[in-house]
């Protein structure tokens, strides 16, 4: 009877650990990873643009490489970007 209680509590602890790992902590980890990637996309865009410029591409082509890195919901269209660049001159 004593051994059965110990085995039962070990099984409950094991199943609870598996449930928490797959049901709580894995989704939280995925959410944190997604938020981190969203936050670092701007830096990746800047890095891609600078690397393309350093490799000798024309400035408009380098900017296009950087623009393509961004997610489609925040990526400016080519005409919006061109208008912004022309307005800065």
pLDDT at residue number 1: 76
Cβ neighbours of residue 76 closer than 8 Å, sequence gap 6 or more:
67, 84
Tell me the average pLDDT across 13-29. Answer: 95
The separation between CA 60 and the C-alpha centre of its own chain, rounded to angstroms, equals 26
pLDDT above 70 (res 89): no
Confidence of residue 57 (pLDDT cuts 50, 70, 90): very high
Rounded Cα distance, 59 and 30, in Å: 36
Residues 41 and 70: beta-carbon distance below 8 Å? yes
Q: How many CA atoms lie within 13 A of 71 on its CB side?
A: 9
């Amino acid at each position: 009877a004593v051994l059965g209680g110990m085995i039962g509590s070990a099984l409950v602890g094991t199943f609870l650990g598996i449930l928490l790992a797959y049901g709580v902590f894995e989704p939280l980890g995925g959410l944190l990873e997604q938020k981190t990637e969203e936050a670092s996309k701007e830096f990746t865009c800047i890095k891609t643009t600078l690397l393309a410029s350093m490799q000798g591409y024309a400035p408009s082509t380098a900017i296009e490489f950087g623009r393509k890195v961004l997610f489609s919901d925040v990526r400016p269209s080519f005409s919006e970007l061109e208008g912004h660049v022309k307005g800065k001159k």
